[in-house]
Amino acid sequence: MRTGIATVCLSGTLKEKMQACAIAGFDGIEIFEQDLVTSPLPPEDIRKMAADLGLTLDLYQPFRDFDSVPGDLLAANLRRAGAKFRLMSRLGMDTILVCSNVATASIDSDDLRVEQLGQLAALAGDHGVKVAYEALAWGKFVSDYEHAHRLVTAVDHPNLGTCLDSFHILSRNWDTAPIEVLDPAKIFFVQVADAPKLAMDVLSWSRHYRVFPGEGQFELAKFMGHVVRAGYTGPVSLEIFNDVFRQSDVERTAVDGMRSLIWLEEQGAKWLDANAGTPAVPRRRYPMELATLPQVAEPAGWNFAEVRAADTTGLETVLGQLGFGFDGRHRTKDVQLWSMGAARVVINEAAPDLAAGSAPAIAALGFDVDSPVIAAARAQQLKAPAVPRKSQANEEVFQGFAAPDSTEVFLCQGSADRTAAWTSEFGEGLDVPAGGSTAVIDHINLAQPWQHFDEAVLFYTSALALQPQPFAEVPSPTGLVRSQVMLSADRSVRLVLNLAPLIQQEGGGARTTYQEHIAFAVDDLVGTARAARGRGLEFLQIPANYYEDLDARFGLDPDFLATLQDLNLLYDRDADGEFLHFYTATVGSVFFEMVERRGGYDGYGAPNAPVRHAVQYDHLHRS
């Protein structure tokens, strides 16, 4: 599959965009007209730079408001088109995107459109240019890709074809199956974009909220499957209008985009395999070849979590109070191991590269996978930056890479009994009795930088096969927190990505606060809390008002309610079961949560999250 991206997806100048696209590994680019018009580079220099960078210039776009106009406007439009065709010749480009008319269309006649598109095709032919006509979702008279294709077929000129854009098709819920029966010789270009399903006017949706494939909710694998079965062989190119991408680091965003196409290619291949029909038509029968990636199953569980700190005293205290046992220090590295049943926490004392300071912070996640090598190979192909891990002879070497928020992700060999071989590298610990031998890591909650949230969703989806759930918005005293759960199917891995609100700073800037946490599941939360209190744990203090409201909502048994309040426990209930949990006070930017799931409860106590945010904020402000 030939990969492409429109320059409008990225921040910076045309030169910066092109360089970033080359680094990210795209085959070609679409030049968005405004990027050229605002560039100091002459067209000949752009052409040479693209060649030097190994990028083809696949599409000049957009040419707007051509068809369905009266004669005088048509003449002006043809003159305008001629100027662009001459420019394209200097750029060495042969395909231009012409959108169905939005602003100046005044005559609704397919005969007239065929006649006018025919004139455009003839002019394009004179300049050796191919016109890819696209039905915009909000085109005045032409908004359906099949309609556009009928017009193109009626014109029947070798220099006129269509452009298929997944956003324009899927935002209108047009059926994608008929793509297969389009004349492949008339499909000049394919653009792909994903989007969250929003109930808003389609123009605003398109201009601000598109995301890279895999970051939204469109059925793009199916779309790709139909495109391949149609016999299309040209570039598959990203055209994403996204407010955040426009503001983000250009190289990061380009890599994010490239990852989305690699993932989409695989998803398309899978769709073709799963929908091969009877008799089955093998994927390789089609002219476009879709590459696949090393295949991995979703992770089987958490192997460990790692927290870093310059001063580890606070962490050690809290873990001990929670009932974790100290399993010793590593024989060659400055790290400690603490555990409680299968819940393992590594405390890294080295903290060599803490960009955000030396306060305790979650630094790494270890996932149990079937084959760390295959999983690492997949992540590598998805452009995940590898993390070097120093180790001595006879020590287990983890395959690892960096997530978009810089958290290190390690791929570990899982085991049926939930033990980990690498723990033998740790020396003798203290003889502390474990408080809850059945504990496991229930979920880990990471704060994401505002400009990399969508990227993180795609990263965990594509590299680790976690499934994004519908996101929630939780009120906090400093704004709404967007919370996105990523799950393995059997719930053994629950990763929560939080987008903390920006808080204003002097001088017009903004920052986010980064409280993250690790939650451990136990069988007996009340017992765990009592024991922790006995060891002197500082609980997050839950207001009395919360318990009154809880009682109003659920009508709880008075003794049970008193126990909850006495121990600062929070409670939730739904049709599937019950949830009990408590939080520790925060150490640096990390805190811990203990949870007990009763019955089939599958949530995270979302109604209690505002209480947690408010109390933490209050505590932060008072201290």
224-283 binders of a copy of itself (CB under 8 A): 243, 246-249
Is the CB of 417 or the CB of 506 nearer to a copy of itself? 506
Question: What CA–CA distance (Å, rounded) separates 448 from 144?
Answer: 38
Report, in Å, the least distance between residue 143 CB and a copy of itself.
16
Q: Which stretch binds a copy of itself (CB under 8 A): 74-82, 127-135, 295-303, 335-343?
A: 74-82
What DSSP letter does each residue of 486-536 carry, written as one string? EE-TTSS-EEEEEEPPPEE-GGG-EE----EEEEEE-S-HHHHHHHHHHTT
Closest residue by Cα to residue 120 from 145, 98, 93: 98
Closest residue by Cα to residue 459 from 490, 483, 486, 492: 486
Question: What CA–CA distance (Å, rounded) separates 318 from 260?
Answer: 40
Does 388 interact with a copy of itself (rule: CB under 8 A)? Answer: no
Is the CB of 280 or the CB of 356 nearer to a copy of itself? 356
Report, in Å, the least distance between residue 496 CB and a copy of itself.
17
Among 506, 534, 536, 558, the residue binding a copy of itself under the rule CB under 8 A is 506
Tell me the backbone φ, ψ of residue 233, rounded to 5 degrees: -130, 5
Q: Which stretch binds a copy of itself (CB under 8 A): 114-122, 130-138, 502-510, 558-566?
A: 502-510
Does 408 interact with a copy of itself (rule: CB under 8 A)? Answer: no
DSSP label of 110: H
Does 217 interact with a copy of itself (rule: CB under 8 A)? Answer: no
Question: What CA–CA distance (Å, rounded) separates 203 from 209?
Answer: 10
As given in the structure block, the two tokens for residue 215 are: 């970051």
Does 64 interact with a copy of itself (rule: CB under 8 A)? Answer: no
Report, in Å, the least distance between residue 382 CB and a copy of itself.
22
Is the CB of 149 or the CB of 252 nearer to a copy of itself? 252
Does 549 interact with a copy of itself (rule: CB under 8 A)? Answer: yes
Segment 160 to 179, residues that bind a copy of itself, using CB under 8 A: none
Segment 577 to 616, residues that bind a copy of itself, using CB under 8 A: 610-611, 613-615
The C-alpha angle 315, 346, 385, rounded to 5 degrees, equals 120
Does 284 interact with a copy of itself (rule: CB under 8 A)? Answer: no
Residues 6+ apart with CB under 8 A from 277: none
Does 314 interact with a copy of itself (rule: CB under 8 A)? Answer: no
Does 438 interact with a copy of itself (rule: CB under 8 A)? Answer: no
In angstroms, the first-to-last Cα distance of the chain is 56
Is the CB of 65 or the CB of 165 nearer to a copy of itself? 65
Is the CB of 40 or the CB of 536 nearer to a copy of itself? 40
Does 480 interact with a copy of itself (rule: CB under 8 A)? Answer: yes
Is the CB of 388 or the CB of 508 nearer to a copy of itself? 508
The C-alpha angle 249, 398, 334, rounded to 5 degrees, equals 90
Closest residue by Cα to residue 463 from 258, 298, 273: 298
Q: Which stretch binds a copy of itself (CB under 8 A): 65-73, 232-240, 345-353, 477-485?
A: 477-485
Report, in Å, the least distance between residue 202 CB and a copy of itself.
9
Among 4, 28, 43, 404, the residue binding a copy of itself under the rule CB under 8 A is 43
Report, in Å, the least distance between residue 93 CB and a copy of itself.
14
Q: Which stretch binds a copy of itself (CB under 8 A): 334-342, 408-416, 461-469, 511-519?
A: 511-519
The partner residues of 446 in beta bridges, in order of sequence, read 497
Closest residue by Cα to residue 264 from 296, 231, 299, 227: 227
C-alpha distance from residue 465 to each of 102, 252, 296 (Å): 41, 21, 7
Does 505 interact with a copy of itself (rule: CB under 8 A)? Answer: yes
Report, in Å, the least distance between residue 437 CB and a copy of itself.
35
Segment 337 to 366, residues that bind a copy of itself, using CB under 8 A: 355-356
C-alpha distance from residue 320 to each of 305, 308, 331, 392, 436 (Å): 16, 17, 21, 29, 12
Does 92 interact with a copy of itself (rule: CB under 8 A)? Answer: no
